[in-house]
Chains A and B, each alone.
Chain A
Amino acid sequence: MALIQALIDGLLAGGVYALISVGLTLVFGVMGVVNFAQAEFVMLGMFAAWAGWNWLGLDPWLGAPLAFIAVFLLGSVLHRLLLRRVMRAPAVAQIFLTVGLLLALENLALLLFGSGFRSVQTPYQTAAVHLGPFIVGVPQLGAFTAALGMGAALWWFLARTRTGWAMRATAQDPAAAQLSGVDSDAMHRLAFSLGVGLSAAGGAVILPYYTVFPSVGGQFVVLMFTAAVLGGLGNVAGAVAGGLAVGVVQSLSALVLPLQMQNLVLFVVFIAVLALRPQGLLGARA
């Protein structure tokens, strides 16, 4: 019974991890850059939603679109100013640009918001739905649903719109795409902005049952990367599956291992996948 409850909890959390990881994988797929700062955008999304709640009285689920837009715009600016310049630079520049971004964003948040832990209070925060002996927390369910919704919207964009096709083309074969008239710089910018915006939205929807502080990003870093790598970096569907898998593994680990070791299994899986099958379990483009 505890097993099934853990499975439920894991899937619910996994849905959100999926959304967060999709952002990461999108950036890599289209730009070929691993954004080490991706988790900081989750933090920014959480802060944006918190600010919306604190100053405008907006429920975080309503604040999520705002968080998305705000971080999307930030992503555009960051791409124009910084990322664009290292697209052809050696790996050291690309890696350490995003690492520098990680440090910069975290400490900027520290300066702006202070280091206090902030949480929201919503009426449904402690509500739960009882399905027989199992408990499904309302905030967790809501976050899962929102994540599903946003995932669906992304799928529709990638599969059904010309811009989406253009982005996928850039990911698959940049040279050919450019020859076909796709502006790869614009696609990069769109992918980056979309990617960080999605991660931010993911952060916003979990705010009701999380607390936000400048270093909260660190909690998501390895989870996100594991999910994305499991599904194959660059593979959006893979990131979704990876996210769900990570959620379930984490939840099941908590049953048998002490809480601090919850993520240990994931890290080991992560290294194993990188070592044995870097293209991910779902085998994507190399």
Chain B
Amino acid sequence: MKYLTRQEWYGALVAVLVLGVLLSIASPYFLNSRNLSNILVQASVIALLAGGQTFVILTGGVDLAVGALTALAGAMAGYMMVKLGIDPYLAILTAFAIGAGVGLFNGYLVAFVGIPSFIVTLGGLTLWRGLAFDATGGFDMSGMPEPFPFIGYGELFGLIPMPIVVMVLFYVSMSFVLSSTKLGRYVYAIGSNEMGARQVGINIRWYKLGVYVVSGLCCALAALVLIGRMDSSSGKMAQMFELDAIAAVILGGTSLFGGRGSIIGSLLGAILITMIRNGMNLLEISQFKQMMAIGAVVIIAVWIDVIRRKRLLRK
């Protein structure tokens, strides 16, 4: 029990359970296997983005361009398959190449040139979305070829929706990377004490570059699941997903100041955000109030993070 309460993601777990109980009481439609599986499917894209975002935030940076990069990778892949008739697997490779390429670009500017990540990715927010519109001529594509219908709507063993399978596999491998590889351990070291990490001989530039590449690849994966789920692609997709992804990471107990947090927390955070939206839909709460609620949740989560950090520093 003590092990559990000491985890950074403990708060998120409690929040998910409490909200689950509250919603079960408030709406007779919440607690059934169909709705719970819906929530996990709807959380999948945000969860994938939050996974990559966790790496960036752990180093003390932030990636605001994840929604735009998702749109770029997705719109390009869709355009290649539907308009140009290119093999879907080649389009998938291209999406990952775009994700890695933009990640390298962001990482280079942050780690080697020294531009704050906030600025690089704020510019990227409109740069990559603009490129997505430009490269596809602003047209929507629909009718994705296999394997996209399977990724979006298929079910493993006719039981578990594929987006959930992708999400679970992703989180298993990401938590391995974060806990058991050099990159993962150095990410924590850089985030908690960048100067110290440099002095013990960690090449912080390369590892910082690495986290943006990870985030870029996650965007590509998220884009592939998203176009499968929508059976269409366009430069318009994934609007404001950066907010949900960053919120999921912060709600999951990862500190915005870097160095502290967990990947499992981000998964719980993504589920929490989706539950909030699902609950508000079932309780028939209007669009404007939903927007206000999500914004408020983000501010409260950062507030809690700031308080926790102050307590930690006092100790």
Please determine whether chains A and B interact with each other in the same assembly.
no
